[in-house]
Amino acid sequence: MSDESDELAMRLKAFEGRAAAVAGAGKDPVNEPMIRHWCEAMGDTNPAYAGPEAIAPPTMLQAWTMGGLSGHTGRSGAYDELLGLLDDAGYTSVVATDCEQEYVRPLRPGDEITFDAVIESVSERKTTKLGTGHFVTTRMDVRAGGELAGTHRFRILKYAPARGKPKARRPRPVVNRDNAGFWEGVGQHKLLIQRCGGCGSLRFPWLPGCGACGCLEWDTVEASGEGSVYSYVVMHHPPFPAFDPPYAVGLIELAEGVRIVSNVVGVPYDKVRIGMPVRLQFERYDEELVLPVFRAGETDGGGS
Ligand SMILES: [Zn+2]
């Protein structure tokens, strides 16, 4: 195995420095409409990107080089050749890992863009959580009027997916200062609802302030656990690791009047109905994850 890998490693190394794209030209010069669309999509209202003295947002660097649906002509085959070699070696999966940009000078409307790209490095074989493979880094130099304006490095991992991977675990909740008390309650098998210190409104999910009166003071009340299905969806696609579709996601209205998104358990997914009475229980999914879920049907004994 090591001999074969050594030979492959040498062949991969030989791609370093080869052109991935030669003498590409931007399809459009830097222009105000594309800048405006970008800023709208990004929600970027920086005044530097509008008006007669506008510059393009630096992070648009790659946008000026993109070929669109019709692509670019004159693209080098070395990159495809490299990916093909990795495919043949069993590294059939690909994931984009990161992108780095350096900005040398601002781009302004009217700048004519040219670029070329080189395969900068092919890593040694690395094993990651996803599997074993090689990182491939390309560097694109972007020029305006022939002068370097910035560089764009793009890295992918071509890998063979890990085999016999452990069963995926449910995503962890994001616990922060605003909701820590809720998750502490769950840890004690209590579903806690926030109660406004100003107007007494109950609220869920947890928020720092009251949506009714703006008051930041609050305490909690423990939910009785009684509720009903206010609405629901049945998840079929896309499948997520750790979830086994189809399954019902319910919007549960608690007896206290607030609603919570949770799983409905205890009945087949296609038997969940709006108005169905449900009762809170705490389900352990792994050694660190307990979640409140809602059981439908004639459960009366045992509690949680
Ligand atoms: Zn209030």
Residue 85: CA count within 13 A, CB half-sphere: 19
Cα angle at 256 between 254 and 257, to 5 degrees?
Answer: 70
Residue 63 Cα, ligand 1 centroid: separation in angstroms? 47
Dist. CA 4 → ligand 1 center (Å):
69
Strands 290-296 and 259-265: parallel
pLDDT, tens digit only, all 304 positions of the chain: 445 577 888 999 999 999 887 778 899 999 999 999 999 999 999 999 999 899 999 999 999 998 888 776 655 688 889 999 999 999 999 999 999 999 999 999 999 999 999 999 999 999 888 889 999 999 999 999 999 999 999 999 999 987 765 678 888 998 999 999 999 999 999 999 999 999 999 999 999 999 999 999 999 999 999 999 999 999 998 888 888 889 999 999 999 999 999 999 999 999 999 999 999 999 998 888 999 999 997 544 444 4
CA-based nearest residue to 120, from 140, 147, 95: 140
- Ligand 1 ion: Cβ-proximal residues, 5 Å cutoff: 196, 198-199, 201, 210, 212-213, 215
What is the residue extent of each domain of the chain?
6-161, 180-296
Q: Which fold has domain 6-161?
A: Thiol Ester Dehydrase; Chain A (3.10.129)
Query: How many angstroms separate the CA atoms of 80 and 99, rounded?
Result: 19
